[in-house]
Amino acid sequence: MRIGIVCYATVGGSGVVATELAHALARRGHDVHLISAELPFRWRWATPRLTFERVETPQYPLFREPQYLLALTNTIVRVSRRHRLDVLHAHYAVPHATAAYLATHILTSEGERPPKTVTTLHGTDITLVGSDPSYVDTIAFSIEASDGITAVSESLKRDTITSLAVRRDIRVIPNFLDCDEYSRRPDAALRTRLCSMDHCESVVVHVSNFRPVKRVSVVVEIFRRIRERQRARLVMIGDGPDRFAVERQVAEAGLTEVVDFVGEQHDLVPWLSSADLFLLPSAQESFGLAALEAMACRVPVVASRVGGLPEVIRDGVTGFVRDVDDVDGMTSCALDLLSDRALRERIGAAASADVRERYCTDTIVPQYEAYYEDVLRGPSTPR
C-alpha cells in the first residue's frame, strides 16, 4: 500500500504517534511518505520504504503570515501525483484534514485519482481549537469530508460528536509504543547524578510541552507538598510557553536546588527508568501518551481523571487518577507510592504488563492497516 502521512513535527503526541506509525508501516512493507514542514521529533533515518516530504512555505509581503495550508495542499497534490498514493492519513484535524480535502478536489478536477483520506483526531484539535467559533464550522466540515475518521480514545470520540455534531462513524484506535524500546532499563549513573547533591530518596518526573493545559504549576505544588515529607527530587522534561513562569514558581518556593529542568529529550527511557513516580495533573488529556511511556517503564503514574486518562490508567491497579481539582488526593497517592516500595513495584509491574497487553506497536498498527483496507473498499465520501 502507498500511504501518505501528514503531521506536525513538534514534540506533542500527534507528531510522535504519526512518526512512529510511519516507521512501523514502512517496516511492515508499505511505501510511506511522511509530509511535514520539518523533520519530526522522532524521525529516524535509514528506514527502508520511508521518505520524508518537506512542506516548503514561502512568505510573501501580501500575506500577514506564512500560508501553510496552501503550501501543504500543494505538497499533498505533488506527492499524490508522483507516488500515486492509495491513502492519505492526516494527523490532527487543523489544517491537515482541510488540506487533504482541497488536494482531493484539485486532483479530481484534473481527472486524476485522489487517495482516500483518513483523519486521526488527537485531542486539542477538537477540545481546544475545535471549540473556537472562528474554526468550528471549517473543522467539522473537513472531518466530515474525510473517507475515514479515527480518534485516540473513546473520550475524544464522545467530545467530537458532542462539540462538532459529527454524524460520521468514528473508529477508536489508541496510541501505541514500541514496547521493545520502552521498558525499564535502570541507569545507575543518571540516578546517581540526579541524587548526588541532595542525597534524595526518590525521583519524581513530569514530561510535557509546558502548555497551560498541562498545569505544570500543579506539578510543582504537588512536589512542594511531597518535599514536606520526603527527600525527593523533581525532573521536569520538555519545554514550552509556561516554562519561565514555572521556573519562577520553583524559585519562589525555595525549590531551585531540588528541581531540574532538562529540556526536551529524544530518549526518554533512561530518565523514566531513573524515576519512582510520574505526575500528570493535566486539565485535559485526550489520551495521555506521556503516561503510557512512563507505565511501560514501570513508573507509577498519578494523574487527573480527565479525557482518555481513565481509559489508559486503571485506578488503583496500574496507577492512580483523581479529580482534576483534587490536589490533596494526588499528593496523597504520590506519598503512598513513594513511601511504600512494595506498592510502587506492584503498581509499576501491573502498568507495564497492561501496556504490553493493550498498546504495543504489533497490536495497534494492524488496526490501522485493517482500517485503511476498509476505507479503500468503501465508497468515497460525497464531496
Residue 234's nearest CA partner among 274, 203, 279 is 203
Q: Is residue 105 classed exposed, middle or buried when 0-12, 13-18 and 19+ CB atoms within 10 A define those classes?
A: middle
Instruction: Say what angle helices 136-144 and 96-109 make with each other, to 10 degrees.
Output: 50
Cβ–Cβ < 8 Å for 90, 125: no
Residue 354 CA to residue 375 CA, distance in Å, equals 30
C-alpha grid cell, residue 224: 512542594
Count of all residues that appear for the chain in the document: 383
Q: What is the pLDDT along the chain (383 residues), one digit of tens a residue?
A: 999 999 988 756 788 899 999 999 999 999 999 999 998 877 888 899 999 999 988 776 655 556 889 999 999 999 999 999 999 999 988 889 999 999 999 999 999 999 999 999 988 767 655 456 677 888 888 899 999 999 999 999 998 988 888 888 999 999 999 999 999 998 889 998 888 767 788 999 999 999 999 999 999 999 999 999 999 999 999 999 999 999 999 999 999 999 999 999 989 999 999 999 999 999 999 999 999 999 999 999 999 999 999 999 999 999 999 999 999 999 999 999 999 999 999 999 999 999 999 999 999 999 999 999 999 998 766 55
Opening angle at CA 13, ends 7 and 18, nearest 5? 40
DSSP 3-state of 187 = coil
For residue 36, list its beta bridge partners: 54
Q: Which domains does the chain have, with CATH numbers?
A: 2-176+361-377 (3.40.50.2000), 188-358 (3.40.50.2000)
pLDDT for the residue numbered 45: 84
Determine the Cα–Cα distance for residues 254 and 89; give it in Å rounded to an integer.
Answer: 48
C-alpha cell at 82: 508522483
| SS3 assignment, position 111 | coil
359 touches 298 (CB < 8 A): no
Exposure string for 329-360, b = 16+ CB within 10 A, e = fewer: ebbbbbbebbeeeeebeebbebbbebbbeebb
Report residue 124 as a C-alpha cell: 486539542
The DSSP 8-state label assigned to residue 380 in this structure reads P
| H or E stretch covering 39 | none
Beta bridge partners of 304: 322
- Closest by Cα among 104, 111, 38 to 76: 104
Relative orientation angle of helices 154-164 and 136-144, to the nearest 10 degrees: 120
Q: Calculate Rg over the CA atoms of the chain.
A: 22
β-pairing verdict for 31-36 and 2-6? parallel
Question: Distance (Å, rounded) from C-alpha 206 to C-alpha 252?
Answer: 19
What are the start-end ranges of the E strands in 133-226? 148-151, 171-172, 202-208
